[in-house]
Structure 1
């Protein structure tokens, strides 16, 4: 789980000043809820738990969100919006369809490994939601899928991505990225930035049109060959 610093203290500050904007208080609720959902699970986290962490009453919490489902949809929305916003910025610095796809995957993996909202997108089960809320979450998820397919298609068109079944490749990428929430350890051997680059490279190398590098002989073997000649 991504590291958070003084989450409870920072979230409480939003409610200590009555003049604070409602948007800041909504954000504080979402940040707290995302942390608790990931730590304890969606079902095991109650509205009362969220209110207690914010040191507010349940009626005050209901002033900003109508239900726990409503809060979870908000967490999904924040995570997906972060991915799409950062993707737009990444696209401005890239050219080919392959590089846009690489940028997409990098942003996707980075958001999941560094933001709790991003991790909510891949770690929480939307089947636990009521039908209307589940439908809204899946609509948001489809935005990511469509955006990814567009970049893969662009890469095929400009010759930087191998001809492939775009739908199948998008599903493969999605499965690989979504699985991160189940096993990624931020305290592992690789730094977060090193992990993001390595994982993205593994995924993108499978569709790149660039030829695979030839194997390099060891210097010892090369020395023997030179001597025999």
Structure 2
């Protein structure tokens, strides 16, 4: 039985799909594209340096025209500011999450070091280290330096807490925090994706060196390979 003409007329019309996205969808798409611009810019800044990178280079990396970039950013200075700020915000969020996870001072310190090491091997973190805030104009430069000081203070507090708990050697928290952050920051200078070690292995080895040192303790057994070398040397000397 076919549907009557009257029934078809009285039936509520179905909603037609709009060719324009809803406001939330448009905002999400714009933010995703803006993030892609910043990501591409951070990678190029890390590879070539800030001054050697142009907006044309960024547009070419994204396969878009240069005017397209102006829908998402004002100029190259703003791009750098956003890239550096993104690296700092990621670092601060990672450190705060590590502290919130709980544990004693050493547990929290290791977790914060892990978070910091992970960030400086990512594009925004590398941009923070390799380019820095010196290229950012005021007043944004002061804001970024304030955020950097929060990272330093977080490390200082944990070191001081560890000394108070007796889990860390007595030391100057300020100097120790400088050493920790400086050593981990330098990873962002020499790290190259696809190298001999994975980011996880790099972070693990660097943190172990910072926490355990490089000097052998008297109660630590010598590895078998080293005993063999010594034995061979002693045998040669006796001969």
Verify the 8 A CA contact 2:44 2:53 in the aligned structure 1: yes
Question: 2:7 aligns to what?
Answer: none
Structure 2 residue ranges without an equivalent (≥5): 1-24, 229-239
- The yes-or-no answer on 1:165 pairing with 2:176 is no
Question: 1:124 aligns to what?
Answer: 131
Residue from 144, 148, 159 that aligns with 1:152: 159
CA deviations on 1:135-162 (whole Å, 9 max, x unpaired) are 2332222221122112112212222122
Verify the 8 A CA contact 2:109 2:158 in the aligned structure 1: yes
Residue from 192, 195, 208 that aligns with 1:201: 208
- The yes-or-no answer on 1:189 pairing with 2:196 is yes
Sort the Cα spacing of 1:192 and 1:53 in 2 relative to 1 into closer, same or farther, 3 A. Answer: closer
CA deviations on 1:178-217 (whole Å, 9 max, x unpaired) are 22123234444333222211110111225xxxxx571326
Question: 2:118 aligns to what?
Answer: 110
Structure 1 residue ranges without an equivalent (≥5): 1-16, 207-211, 222-229
Higher alpha-carbon deviation: 139-148 or 167-176: 139-148
State how far apart, in whole Å, the 2-side matches of 1:98 and 1:154 are. Answer: 9
Sort the Cα spacing of 1:112 and 1:213 in 2 relative to 1 into closer, same or farther, 3 A. Answer: farther
Instruction: Give the CA RMSD over aligned residues.
Output: 2.7
Matching of residues 205-220 of structure 1 within 5 Å: 205-206=212-213, 214-216=219-221
| TM-score (ref. length: structure 1) | 0.75
CA deviations on 1:3-40 (whole Å, 9 max, x unpaired) are xxxxxxxxxxxxxx977532212211111111111112
Helix, strand or coil for the counterpart of 1:95?
Answer: coil
Verify the 8 A CA contact 2:125 2:188 in the aligned structure 1: no
Q: Which protein is bigger by CA-based radius of gyration? A: 2
Helix, strand or coil for the counterpart of 2:98?
Answer: helix
Alignment length, in residue pairs? 200
Shift of 1:100: 0.9
Shift of 1:171: 1.0
